[in-house]
Amino acid sequence: MMKNYRTAIVTGASYGIGPFIVRALAKEGMNLVLAARSGDELEQVATAADIRASGVHVLTVPTDVTEREALSALVSAAERTFGSVDVLVNNAGGDFQREFHNYSADDVEEMIQLNLTGPVELTRLLLPGMLQRKQGHIVNISSLGGSVGFPFTEVYSAAKDGLIAFTRVLRADYRQAGVSSSVLILGPIKDAGTGARTMQEVNLPMSAMGKASMSPPEAVAQAVLKSLRRDKAEIVVMPGPGRFLRALMTLFPGMGSAMNQMTGSTHTMKQVADFRERQREQLNEQTQARI
Ligand SMILES: NC(=O)c1ccc[n+]([C@@H]2O[C@H](COP(=O)([O-])OP(=O)(O)OC[C@H]3O[C@@H](n4cnc5c(N)ncnc54)[C@H](OP(=O)(O)O)[C@@H]3O)[C@@H](O)[C@H]2O)c1
């Protein structure tokens, strides 16, 4: 077990990268509180053979992180069951994969709530207890999207870059008091999660360069453990010099767009955005037909 950490909340634990993080923390002997909207999928993760074999206690709490009351209920359920929470992994997140000019004001709000306001509020709810016990660690899962100006991710990237800044200041303010914070800045992830699912769904070919830039979901889980064990401020999860790439993009902000054109990301993401728009139109037509 890391430090005296006994209990962790992991959001976005139902599918994608989340279950990999859950399994890694279970191996460390931590009691786990799993949150996401889909209760059945959470149960499947909680009752998987390797989790049961780890002997840890697991609580599943169906939660929509965009709803403030649901976050209070999640924290209450976790504290009622395990007494206190030492680690929060804010992993739930996602993007509509649509062009920004097609967003409604509600779409903007939902993206910010999912990727920024939800994690901030969960942290706010847990922080007083952690400060009282002089022990705790917040791990936020962000993205390289903003740094590389990844196509059509205006709102998602704004929220994820916001999460990086939030973590940095939170860490500076509370680390001396025993509560630390880390942010994981993910490049593209293969085999599980939203990127891998989108490639399959839209039936997109993957270039050799694209493949070479991807990390397995296990690398994210290992980065979570590393952030807790070694108390890292920021970890870039990407093969090769991810940190260097991030620094380079800050020095030369126009470079990302040129790189996206060159690697074909702009073309690929346009195909994805068009696919999502068609999906949305079909859904609207079906809804109209039912009325
Ligand atoms: N995969 C990548 O290539 C990549 C790259 C950079 C950053 N990231 C970040 O890594 C994290 C995990 O991504 P992923 O690829 O594993 O995504 P994913 O496969 O789409 O899974 C997202 C998880 O978040 C949950 N979730 C979504 N909306 C939610 C809501 N409103 N309330 C509560 N839970 C919600 C989902 O469960 P329910 O649907 O059941 O709620 C699911 O468990 C995200 O923060 C993402 O931004 C991923």
179-186 and 31-36: which strand pairing?
unpaired
Task: Report how far ligand 1's centroid is from the alpha carbon of 216 (Å).
Answer: 15
* Phi, psi values for residue 137, rounded to 5°: -150, 130
pLDDT at 240: 85
- As a whole number of angstroms, the distance between CA 243 and CA 144 comes to 10
Mean predicted lDDT score pLDDT of the chain: 95
Ligand 1 neighbours by CB, cut-off 6 Å:
11-18, 36-38, 41, 63-66, 91-94, 114, 141, 143, 186, 188-189, 193-195
The pLDDT of residue 71: 98
Of 91, 113, 166, the one to substitute when testing ligand 1's pocket (max ligand atoms within 8 A of C-beta) is 91
* pTM across the whole model: 0.97
* pLDDT of 1 over the 80 cut: no
Expressed in angstroms and rounded, the spacing between residue 268 Cα and the centre of ligand 1 is 21
Among the listed residues 250, 217, 220, 224, the one whose alpha carbon sits nearest the alpha carbon of residue 237: 220
Q: What is the mean pLDDT of residues 111-132?
A: 98
* 156 in active site: yes
Measuring CA to CA, which residue among 181, 188, 149, 152 is closest to residue 164? Answer: 181
Q: 98 pLDDT band (50/70/90 cuts)?
A: very high
Q: What pLDDT, in 10s, does the model give residues 248-265? A: 999 999 999 999 999 899
Report how far ligand 1's centroid is from the alpha carbon of 205 (Å). 23
